[in-house]
Structure 1
Amino acid sequence: MLRSIAIIALFLGSILSSLASELTWDRTEARIELLPHETEVRAVYKVTNNSDAPLRINKLESSSGSTLSKIDRRILYPGDTATVTGIFNKGKRQGENHSTIKVFLEGRNNPAAVLGLVAQIPVLIEASPRILYWKSDSLQQEQQIELLLDTRYVNQIADINYDSVRLNVKKESRSEPIPRTILHVSPKRYDVPFRDTIVIYASGPKGMRSQTRIHIFVQP
C-alpha cells in the first residue's frame, strides 16, 4: 500500500515538474491596491513556452465572479510568450479580496498554473462596530463607535448625520495609541422601538470625500 502511494506521488510530481519546465511565468501572484476612484484593476502575467513543441492554452478559469481573465494568444510555439490578464471588478467590495485564475493546456485535466490576484480596496472610514442594538434585557447605557480614517485619502470627519430627536451622539477625538474618533451613542428613549442610521462623512485633500453608515436598532 505504501509502495503504491509512493509511486503515485512520484508520478504526480513528475507531471507538475514537466508542466513547470514547459512553461515559465514572470510571476504567479499579483498584489494590487485600488485607488478610491478606481472601479477595476488589471494584473498581467507573462508566460513563455520552454518546450520543443507547440502548446495550446485551452481555457482560463476564474475562481470568482469579481475577476475576469483573457489571453492575447492561445498557441505558443517554442520560445513564444503570451500575456494573461486578470481583471478585478470592485463592485461594492472592501478590504482584501483574493481570486485565482487556472490555466489549462489542451489535452490536460490538471491546470498548468494557478495565478493569484490579491486586490486591496482601501476602507477610507473604518467603523467598529457598524451595528448598535439595544433590547429589553440589555443595559440602558451609551455604546461607542470607533472611527479610523485612511489619512492617505481623508483626514477629517466632515459631518455626522443622524436623527437628533431620537438619538444622542457625541464626538470625541483621541490620539493614543493611534488617532481616531469615538462616537458616544445612546437613544433618548429606550421604551420606544425604532430603527435609524447614522451617516458619517469624511473629507480630504483634492476634494476627496467618503461616507459610511452605522445602523441603530432599539427593541424594548
Structure 2
Amino acid sequence: MDNASRQKTGDALWEDYVKEIETFVDSLLYPGSDLDMPDEAARELKTAFSNAEGEMVLGISALLMYGDAQVKFVKYEDDCKSRGVAPRQDMPVYYSACRGMRITAARSFVSSLHIVREMIQRLISESPNGGHAKASLAAFDQKYPDIQKVRDSIQHTHERARGERRHKGKPKKIGVHLIQINNIVDHYYETMLSDGTQGRVPIGPEVLNDLLGVFQCTIDAFPWTGAGRLWPEDRRRL
C-alpha cells in the first residue's frame, strides 16, 4: 500500500488491498479435466496439482492476513498521531501485537511461496515437455533469489538469533555481527541468512502472481484430455 492509501482508513483501506490481490492473482486454466497418461501416474500427478493448489490458497490467505494486520497497524499509528501520542507509549502491547501479526503473516506467506515452488519443481521433473516451465521457474528464481534462503532462516530462527547456522547437522557460528531478524521494511520481509547477509522477500500480490505464472507453464507442460476448467472457479470462495 502506497502513501496515498494511508489517507484511507478502515474498510476502504482493506477493500483496496483485496482489490489489489484480485487484480494480480489471475485464474489458472487447466486445458482438460484429466491427464492423458497411464491411470496410476495420472492419479499421482493430479493429487500433486491439487496439493499445490491447496498451498496456493494458504499463500493467498497469509497475504490477506498481512493486509488486515497492515490496516490495523496504519490505523493505530494514524490515530496516535492525531492525538499527539507515541504508539509505543499509548498502548505498547497492542502496538507490538500489530507489528507481530504482520511478521507472522509474512513468514507464513514466504513459507507458502517456498512450498509451492518446490511442488512445481517436482511436477516439472515429471512432465514430458517441461522445457518452457523450467525456463519460467529459472526466471522466477532469478527475480526472487532469496525465497528458499529466507524460508530456511525462518525454520532456524532460534539459531539465527544466536548468530548460528547448521553445518553437517551441528550449529556453527556465522562469524559476523548480528543483524536484525523478523523485520518488515517497505513490505519486504527481512532476516539474516546463513551466511550472515540480509535476505529479503517481497510481501505482496506481484510475487504470488509471478509464481502462478510458473504454475500455469507447468500445467501446460502436461497432456490433458476432457473439458477444461478455471482455478479457482469462484475466487469469492477464498
Q: TM-score category by the smaller chain?
A: under 0.3
Higher strand proportion, which one? 1
State the TM-score, normalized to the length of structure 2. Answer: 0.22
Q: Which has the larger radius of gyration?
A: 1
| Higher-helix-fraction structure | 2
> Which protein, 1 or 2, shows the higher relative CO under an 8 Å CA cutoff with sep ≥ 6?
2
